[in-house]
Structure 1
Amino acid sequence: MPAEFGATPWGRAWVRTIESTSTAGPNALLPRARTLARNTTTVVAAGTGHVEADVAVSGEVCRVRIDLPVWPDETQAEAARLVAKAMAEHRGMAAGDLPDMLEADFRRHAISIAVRLEEQHSGCTCRARPRPCVHILATIYALAQLVDERPALAVELRSATAKVTVAADPDWVVLSDLDPAGFYGD
């Protein structure tokens, strides 16, 4: 069974930022954060240099914002070159998808996809003292799921110039656009 969080190398890079093996012991907040990510975390916005989410807990919504540093210009240029090369070699990929081998190319060129907790600037409307709080951790898990679903987001988060998304799949239909009566018949 594939991992729920970090099923691809792209999402796994984000999961590693909070499930670090270099700490003295496991973070006791992680099981609760995974539950919140599964059930009550909604990523409201994710784009160049930031992630925003709403995490509902016991009827209260905590708003989370995580600011991420973008890559320096030379790193952005190298990342764009690697993405272009990979997309040329893998024509016909779905919108927002990137080949897994590209993540390995990024690592070989010392291009970090995810941002370590120490480098993130995060805030939450909760009153919890320890940072990162469970809501911030849940947001990172939810982000890892989004990145698993659409790996191009991993590049877009770190690059001010990223344009890796290809044209939308013409066979993709948003469910809310369907009329149930017309779809299933009378």
Structure 2
Amino acid sequence: MPDNEFGYTAWGRDWVRLAEPLHQTRPEPLLPRARSTARNSAVRTEIEGRTVRAHLHRGGQASITHVELAPLSRAQVTAIGQVIPDTSVLTDDMHRALRDAGHSPAPVLVSTDCSCSARTVRCLHVLAVLYTIARQVDENPRLALELQGYFDTGHDPEAPVQERRWTALNSLDPDRFFAVAD
């Protein structure tokens, strides 16, 4: 049994770092409850491309959470393909080889959304989804690359990188968006 139930592989630790960033200055009080929610199978995930949709049931409340990831750039896809020619089974050594080559396979969140009343980017439900994905990635490290769109292009250098399906509302600048053109 691994020491840590979430992120016991290098691939899963990248996901745990999204919930527990190293640059955090104070303890996050929601982390124990988020781990408990993920541990008790209260999170049901549906993965579609680079978007994870999760249904969470905790007590008498239910929430729907969306997590969208940034796609890997064309250069990252090419570099990963050169360092790891066969991605059918990913190991911690392969993760280390990528980092040594200067390519971080860590995911980047584009947007998160939750139907709960907390109205924060890092609510309990988003954190529980990150822990659940970390556990799923620990079981199948290939999922870490799938969620970032690595297999969407089929390693074709001429294929375009998948565009985002929508624009996150918090990414718009209201001063420029509503400005009247002269």
TM over 0.5: yes
Following TM superposition, by how much is the alpha carbon of 1:99 offset from its aligned partner in structure 2, in angstroms? 1.7
* Equivalences for residues 130-145 of structure 1 within 5 A: 130-145=120-135
2 CA distance for matches of 1:120 and 1:34? Answer: 22
User: What is the Cα-based RMSD across aligned positions, in Å?
Assistant: 2.0
1:56-135 to 2 correspondence within 5 Å? Answer: 56-84=57-85, 97-116=89-108, 119-135=109-125
Cα distance change on mapping 1:23 and 1:47 into 2, 3 Å: same
CA drift at 1:54? 1.1
Q: Is this contact kept in 2: 1:41–1:139, CA < 8 A?
A: no
Asked if 1:157 corresponds to 2:158, the answer is no
Equivalent pair of 1:41/1:142 in contact (CA under 8 Å) = no
1:18 to 1:44, Cα distance in 2 relative to 1, 3 A = closer
Mapped to 1, the partners of 2:133 and 2:147 lie a distance apart of: 11
Structure 1 portions without partners, runs of 5+: 88-95, 164-186
1:52-110: CA deviation from partner (whole Å, max 9, x where unpaired)? 2111122322111101001111111111222215x5xxxxxxxx631211111221233
| Number of the residue aligned with 1:21 | 22
CA drift of 1:44 comes to 2.4
- Give aligned pairs, total: 152
Identity of aligned residues (%): 33
Cα shift readout 1:95-147 (whole Å, capped 9, x = no counterpart): x631211111221233332335xx43000111113321000000000000000
Alpha-carbon distance in structure 2 between the residues aligned to 1:46 and 1:111: 25
**SS state of the match for residue 84, structure 2?**
helix
Q: What secondary structure sits across from 2:147 in the alignment?
A: helix
Residue 50 of structure 1 aligns with an amino acid whose one-letter code is T
Runs of 4+ in structure 1 over 6 Å off: none
State the one-letter code of the partner of 1:70: P
Which structure: greater helix fraction?
A: 1
Deviation at 1:13, TM superposition (A): 1.2
TM-score, with length taken from structure 1: 0.74
Residue identity matched to 2:123: C
Name the CA distance, whole Å, in 1 between partners of 2:144 and 2:91.
Answer: 12
Decide whether aligned partners of structure 1 residues 106 and 159 sit closer, same or farther in structure 2, where only a CA change above 3 A counts: farther
Alignment correspondent of 2:172: none
The 10-residue stretch of structure 1 (45-54 or 73-82) with the greater mean CA deviation from structure 2: 45-54
Return the alpha-carbon distance in structure 2 between the equivalents of residues 153 and 141 of structure 1: 14
